Amino acid sequence: MQQMKRLLDIYVALQALFALSRCFSDGEPGPVAGSQSNGDRFKIEGRASVPGVKTQDWISTALILVEGEEYVGFLKTDGSFAVNDVPSGSYVVEIVSPSFRFDPIRVDITSKGKMRARLVNHIKTSEVIRQPYPLQIRSSGPHTYFMKRETWGWTDFLMNPMVMMMVLPLLIIVLLPKVVNTNDPEMRKEMEQSMNMLNPNPELPDVSEFMTKLFSKGSSKSGGGNKGSRSVALKRR
Amino acid sequence: MAWLVVRLAISVSLLYAASAVFEDQVGKFDWRQQFIGKVRFALFDTHSQASKKLLVATDKNVFASLNSRTGDLFWRHVDKTGPEGHIDALLMYGQDAVVVVGNGRLLRSWETTVGGLKWETVLDTGSFQAAALVGVQDLVKYVAVLKKSAISLHDLSSGSQIWVENLPDSDSVQYQTIYSGGNGVVFVLGVVPNSHIVIVEYKIEDGEIMNKKSVEAVWMSSLESSCAVVSSGILLCVDQITQSLYTLPLQSAEQTEMRQIHLQMLDLEVVSGFRPVLTSTQPNPAQPPLSEFFLQLSPDHHILLQFIDGLIAPLRDFNPSYLAAFATSGERTVAAVMSPKNDTACSINLFSADTGRRHLDTTIIYHMDPNGGKPNRLYVHAFLKKDDSVGYRVMVQTEDLTLTFLQQPGRVVWMREEALADVVTMEMVDLPFTGTQAELEGEFGKKAAIQDGLLPMVLKRLSSQFILLQAWLAHLWKLFYDARKPHSSVKNDVTIDILSRDEFNLQKMMLMVTASGKLFGIDSKSGTILWKQYLENIQPNSVFKLIVQRTTAHFPHPPQCTLLIKNKDTGLGSLYVFNPIFGKKSQISVPALPRPVIQTLLLPVIDQDYAKVLLLIDDQYKVTAFPSTKNVLQQLQDTASSIFFYLVDSSQGKLSGFRLRKDLSTELIWEVVIPTEVQEIVAVKGKRANEHVHSQGRVMGDRSVLYKYLNPNLLAVITESTDTHQERSFVGIFLIDGVTGRIVHEAVQRKARGPVHFVHSENWVVYVYWNSKFRRNEFSVLELFEGAELYNSTVFSSLDRPYAPQVLQQSYIFPAPINTLEATLTEKGITSRHLLVGLPSGNILSLPKMFLDPRRPELVSEQSREENLIPYAPEMPIREEWFINYNQTVSRVRGIYTAPSGLESTCLVVAYGLDIYQTRVFPSKQFDVLKDDYDYILISSVLFGLFFATMISKRLAEVKLLNRAWR
């Protein structure tokens, strides 16, 4: 509430500023409620278009709403429209269509029937950014109602850092022996040395061996397998 | 710092955008049905033989084009509600349909193939009387509109006004009809009741009055329906008092008196008290009407008559007959007559209009719905067959607003339940278990089981297992059987018998009460109507309240719903008790309600049959209990001291609280008067009884807990100022404890006016009002907290509350108008809440409650970030991804109903207005089930891949081992 109040204060100040720059001298049109009695009714006119789409494909589902459902208008076959019997006041005119998006426009009608169209700004309500009148409303494209599903693709999979971390060492393991000539006895010696360094105890079963044992013996001896694994872990440490 | 805040806001909003619909979910668990309302005018497009168009205008101010083969909508235009959008007349010529709207205010021409407006003209003020197409030399060029004091002629192609003329003596003469026979003149017929008829003749070209005459007719009170123009401009009237027909040639100047033909001479008689109706037909507006016409003598007696050379001859007598209508195809005009066949069926036959001879093999049998109303309108679509005989289809409208489209020999092509265009209230009821599930339940449920001993229990167990096995095998067999059938024929025909509760209780029975007094039971999964029941003798201004007294949980007791029907003017009510699953009326005796009911109360007290007790309070504060067995009365006596209720009298601005006494009388405990001179009470809402709150408090950034003020007796009272001036109007909200009458909180929104929509739930109230100063809608949220400590953590008592709650409030701008507001509801209340906002555009916005949190900080601090609070922004965002009904818009959404499902993550939502839309929402995503897009293929391929990889590596390892052993 506090914020609201502060904001309102700011806007009141802004309003005073804008009053200077206004081209419309008579300011805000009269009260919206209760103005029906004066009897003068006006017409809001305009034209709506959807770029690249024929009018007959969308007008049958579209509707012009003035200030909610206060006044309702329909689109003509050429895309133009007129909302009749609107008393003076300030209204938000909106074209409603289930398939296309249109931006609302505020239309001010003075008691003399002078019209002005401007952008809707709910925060700075008195700011005037003029729009052409009769209204020219262009659709900004189809509605985007749906979220994109996260699709699974090979590229996404491969670009995953975890996968990269796993795949690259694998490649090195597989490809390195091919690159290095293993037939060279010196090299073999060197490698064996390094292997021995890595694996100090040659009697120790390696992990793959252990896994195969585990699978071949089945679940009945899994207890023993577990023990083995523990010992491996211990020895490795 | 700033960018951090922005990033946080973005990440939070992204997190919450996830409640949107995915494109592949379209139609998976949601459906929409579109309605039009009660048909007032229906015209078949006879322009071309192949045309499938059926144009309808309804009492809901809807103008639509239906596909007459399927009953689906081609297009539909929904005008403003109320008299300003009321469709007065519908005329059709060729591709164009001319509609008079708003008591003759607007004249519109529609291009019927596209569904777009051709032209629109504003007419002068004056109440609408009649409209007619006017033709000159076999060509229809104009449309004439008759107002109370003027007649105007408009061009049919452009809508421009040709001429407008004031009617002579319009203050004394009631001009009612227009007639044009294509000979260059328009006749306007008026009547001075019980005195004379006035006939004015206008020239089409310039509106000059060619002729004006008055003919004496003392017996006449109104021209409508008792008069018709037949043959070449003969005015024909019928009068039930003198039992006569009167004729008058419109054009002849010399005849100044109507010729009287006694009905007795034709051996006819009008039933006393019935207003006879004359129906003539004018197939082409540029030519005079036919000389044949129908005369209805009683509700079930029509007669086809012919007017030749000043004489009237009966062609065929239809006794009994309910409805009769003319239809024209090409040059041939036929008459279709509906007559009763037996108690449940009617037969419709076709007769040639000029001779009255019956066409052979044209009978259509119309079966009346035993739970429906009587047929009251008949629309005939005649067409020429290849062998040049006349074929026809009919559309029958019944009292309960069912539209049935039939073709020979009685096949129902389609059916529309237009009563559903006006749903007043609804409930969702769990479906029952299947027989097998119930059998299992029975095994444990029966008290006798305990005394049975071991062996019988084992046997029972075995038998129920056997039944389960049997059911499973039957299910498998059905699956196999269905799989063999071609895919198209396996259409899910949902019937009540096969319906049962699903695993997660996502499928429920929707009970809908419509304004016309028709009840519907609809399957929430598919939208199929499972049962319907038309309650006759419902006053048009009735209010309904639907109460679920017993759910399906109490097998073998059937579920029970009670509908309270109350006359708005007198307040007198009646109860209708029924089974919500089958729609059958219950045999339970219902208490008589001799006095107006002003409040109803559903107590948690249950009788021995597990039905909740309903208390009805009448205008003398007497309480009637239903059911009122001894058991119930005993329980009521025991608990009377803790039963409180409140009454609202908005005309006196009085809220009062009462307590029940042991003898079922009441005592006044508190009274709050809100002076009506300043403001009036517009709405009072408590919390929903089936609402669960999971967490008692909120964990703050510093790890302390802010406890919620969860008062189940709290009432939110909304008031509006009586002064509507924009500077002085205001909206007030009072939070009142319903037991003690204590005003817990009070807030006023200045320079604001209604309509106010609000939701009251948990410890918060959200309300929307119109800010008349800045001309925008604003949301305001009130949240109540007890503070850092709970006063009494075990039980909440309104009577023992020494400390007032802390109230936090914040307001936001909402950049769109609002039609209705509701909050999501889940089984245990763990899932975060969303607000469902019905917009005039027909979209339903799912707005996270997180955005309506009065603790949203202006400046972000470490603590607020810890709490996941979104920084305050004055304008509420509206994102298209939040529209839960994507392009399936709900026209004129009037209410949203939410119900929990068996899954905590899922809330069932039904939005109703002109259309009905059902869907599921997942406010915190689907955290308790696998996602829709769960990739079974990936997971199984990875599993198999790993499996094979181990196999291969095993083999490789063996080889390696062997090699090593050889070394």
For the cut 70, the answer to whether the pLDDT of residue A152 exceeds it is no
Closest partner residue to B858 among A3, A68, A212, by Cβ?
Answer: A3
pLDDT above 70 coverage of chain B, percent = 94
Q: What is the pLDDT of residue B51?
A: 81
pLDDT value of position B1: 43
- pLDDT range class, residue B496, cuts 50, 70, 90: low
Cross-chain CB nearest to A146 (options B23, B858, B875):
B23
Single-letter amino acid code for the residue at A193: Q
B2 — pLDDT class (breaks 50, 70, 90): very low
Sign of CA dihedral A96, A100, A101, A106: negative
Given a contact cutoff of 8 angstroms between Cβ atoms, the answer to whether B279 and B321 are in contact is no
CA–CA min distance B3, chain A (Å)? 21
**pLDDT of B895:** 93
User: Which amino acid is located at B248 in the chain?
Assistant: L
Q: What is the pLDDT of residue B437?
A: 66
Name the band, by pLDDT with cuts 50, 70 and 90, for residue B34. Answer: very high
**Which pLDDT belongs to residue A224?**
40
More reliable by pLDDT, B387 or A153: B387
Cβ–Cβ below 8 Å for A122 and B875: yes
Cβ–Cβ below 8 Å for A122 and B892 = no
Asked if A147 and B21 come within 8 Å (Cβ–Cβ), the reply is yes
Are B108 and B86 within 8 A, CB to CB? no
Nearest partner of B779 among B804, B754, B808, B812, judged by Cα: B812
Considering only CB atoms, A98 lies closest to which of B78, B775, B889, namely B889
Which residue does chain A place closest to B933, by CA atoms?
A149
CB contact under 8 A, B80 and A69: yes
Q: Are residues B888 and A3, on separate chains, in Cβ contact within 8 Å?
A: no
Residue B203 has pLDDT above 60, yes or no: yes
Q: What part of A 5-44 touches B (C-beta under 8 Å)? A: 7, 11, 31-34, 43
Position A236 confidence tier, pLDDT thresholds 50, 70, 90 = very low
- pLDDT value at A125 more than 50: yes
Label residues B730-753 b or e (16+ Cβ within 10 Å = b). bbbbbbbbbbbbbebbebebebbb
State yes or no: pLDDT of B348 exceeds 80.
yes
Q: A215, B810: Cβ pair inside 8 Å? A: no
SS3 B855: coil
Model confidence at B11: pLDDT above 50: no
Does residue B935 sit in helix, strand or coil?
Answer: coil
**Across the interface, do A144 and B21 touch by the CB < 8 Å criterion?**
no
- Helices marked H in chain A: 2-21, 154-159, 161-179, 185-198, 207-217, 222-236
> Mean pLDDT across the stretch B769-793?
89
Distance CA B455, CA B351 (A): 75
Q: Tell me which residue has tokens 């699978």.
A: A215
Say yes or no to pLDDT of A11 above 90: no
Given this model, what pLDDT does residue A24 score? 37
**pTM for the full model?**
0.84
CA atoms within 13 A on the CB side of A60: 16
Residue A33, pLDDT score: 35
Q: Is B117 in contact with A150 (Cβ distance < 8 A)?
A: no
Q: Do residues B913 and B891 touch, judged by C-beta distance below 8 A? A: yes
- Of B662, B560, B650, the C-alpha closest to B614 is B560
Query: What integer best gives the mean pLDDT of chain A?
Result: 72
> Which tokens hold the place of B631?
């058991």
Residues of A in contact with B956 (CB under 8 A): 208
Identify the burial level of A97 via C-beta atoms within 10 angstroms of its C-beta, where 0-12 means exposed, 13-18 middle and 19 or more buried: buried
Taking only the tens place, the pLDDT of each residue in B110-135 is 988 888 899 999 888 888 988 888 88
Mean pLDDT, residues B321-331 taken together: 88
Beta carbons of A45 and A36 less than 8 angstroms apart: no
CB-CB neighbors (< 8 A) of A215 in chain B: 950, 954
pLDDT at B676 > cutoff 80: yes
Q: Which domains does chain A have, with CATH numbers?
A: 42-142 (2.60.40)
Cα–Cα distance measured from residue B502 to residue B506, given in angstroms and rounded to the nearest whole number: 7
Residues pairing with A108 in the sheet: A90, A116
How many CB atoms sit inside 10 A of residue B550's CB? 21
Distance from C-alpha of B926 to C-alpha of B504, rounded to nearest angstrom: 13
Q: Which of residues 126-145 of A touch B (CB under 8 A)?
A: 143-145
| Terminal C-alpha separation, chain B | 68
Q: CA-to-CA distance for B669 and B658, rounded, in angstroms?
A: 5
Q: Is the pLDDT of residue A29 over 50?
A: no
**Phi and psi torsions of B9, nearest 5°:** -60, -45
Q: Are B140 and B156 in contact (CB under 8 A)?
A: yes
DSSP string, A25-71: TT-S-S-STTGGGG---EEEEEEEE-TTS-GGGTGGG-EEEETTTTE
- Going B686 to B692 to B695 to B696, the CA torsion angle's sign is positive
Q: Which has the closest alpha carbon to B782: B689, B685, B883, B877?
A: B685
- CB interface of A with B, residues 68-107, below 8 Å: 68-72, 74-77, 81-82, 84-85, 90, 94, 96, 98-99, 101
CB pairs under 8 A between A and B: 161
Among A9-13, B281-285, B474-478, B896-900, the minimum mean pLDDT is found in A9-13
Phi and psi at residue B913, to the nearest 5°: -170, -125
The predicted pLDDT at position A196 comes to 72
Q: Which residue in the set B20, B111, B120 is minimally distant from A147, CB to CB?
A: B20
- Name chain A contacts of B726, Cβ cutoff 8 Å: 31-33
Mean pLDDT of chain B: 86
Q: At what angle do helices B454-484 and B435-445 cross, to 10 degrees?
A: 170
- Residues in chain A with CB shorter than 8 Å from the CB of B819 are 68-69
Mean pLDDT for B392-414 is: 90
State residue A229's pLDDT score.
42
Please provide the size of chain A in residues.
237
Starting at the edge strand found earlier in the chain, the sheet holding B573-578 runs: B542-550, B560-567, B573-578
Q: Of B726, B775, B880, which is closest to A143 when you measure between CB atoms?
A: B880
Chain B positions in Cβ-Cβ contact with residue A59 (cut-off 8 Å): 114-116
d(CA B303, CA B318): 5
Which chain A residues have a beta carbon less than 8 Å from that of B17? 147
Contact predicate B247/B259, CB 8 Å: yes
With CB atoms and an 8 Å threshold, state whether B21 touches A67: no
How wide is the angle at C-alpha B177 spanned by C-alphas B176 and B183, nearest 5°? 150
Provide the shortest C-alpha distance from residue B811 to chain A (in Å): 6
Q: Any alpha helices (H) in B407-536, and if so which ranges?
A: 435-445, 448-451, 454-484
Q: Are A172 and A180 spatial neighbours (Cβ–Cβ below 8 Å)?
A: no
Average pLDDT over residues B554-573: 85
Residue B252 has pLDDT above 80, yes or no: no
Pairwise CA distance, residues B745 & B748, whole Å: 10
Which residues of chain B have a CB within 8 Å of the CB of A166? none
Q: What is the mean pLDDT of residues B611-619?
A: 89
| Closest-CA distance of chain B to residue A60, Å | 5
**Mean pLDDT on B307-325:** 87
Q: Do B887 and A99 touch (CB under 8 A)?
A: yes
For A97, nearest residue in chain B (alpha carbons): B841
The pLDDT of residue A207 is above 90: no
- Nearest C-alpha neighbor of B392 from the set B357, B431, B352, B421: B352
Backbone φ, ψ for residue B192 (5° rounding): -105, 115
Buried b vs exposed e over B147-186: b needs ≥16 C-beta within 10 Å? bbbbbbbbebeebebbbebebeebeebbbbbbbbbbbebb
The reply to whether residue A212 touches residue B958, judged by beta carbons under 8 angstroms, is yes
> pLDDT class for B271, splitting at 50, 70, 90?
confident
**Distance from C-alpha of A78 to C-alpha of A162, rounded to nearest angstrom:** 57
Q: Tokens standing for B66?
A: 């239906």
Confidence class for position A22, pLDDT limits 50, 70, 90: very low
Q: What is the pLDDT, as a whole number, of residue B194?
A: 84
| CA–CA dist B326, B354 (Å, integer) | 11
Q: What is the pLDDT of residue B227?
A: 87
Confidence of residue B443 (pLDDT cuts 50, 70, 90): low
> What residues 181-200 of chain A have any CB closer than 8 A to a CB of chain B?
none
Asked if A3 and B887 come within 8 Å (Cβ–Cβ), the reply is no
* Cα B615 to chain centroid, rounded: 28
- B696: nearest Cα among B797, B791, B808: B791
Chain A residues lying within 8 Å of B774, measured CB to CB: 11, 122, 125
Q: Is the pLDDT of residue B583 over 90?
A: no
What is residue B353's predicted lDDT score, i.e. its pLDDT?
87
Tracing tokens 């101010």 back to the chain, one arrives at B61
DSSP structure string for B57-78? EETTSEEEEEETTT--EEEEEE
Q: Do the chains contact at B892 and A69, CB–CB below 8 Å? A: yes
CB contact under 8 A, B889 and A60: no
Contact between B733 and B765 (Cβ < 8 Å): yes
Q: How confident is the model at residue B839 (pLDDT cuts 50, 70, 90)?
A: very high
- The pLDDT confidence band at residue A38, using thresholds 50, 70 and 90, is very low
User: Chain A residues with CB inside 8 Å of B24's CB?
Assistant: 149
Contact A90 B775 (CB under 8 A): yes
How far off is chain A from B920, nearest CA to CA, in Å? Answer: 15
Q: How confident is the model at residue B436 (pLDDT cuts 50, 70, 90)?
A: low
Q: Once rounded to an integer, what is the mean pLDDT over residues B316-324?
A: 89
Q: What is the pLDDT of residue B5?
A: 44
Task: Quick: pLDDT tens for B852-877.
Answer: 999 999 888 888 888 888 899 999 88
Distance CA B69, CA B383 (A): 14
pLDDT of residue B735: 93
| CA–CA distance, B778 with B771 (Å, rounded to integer) | 7
Q: Are A122 and A106 in contact (CB under 8 A)?
A: no
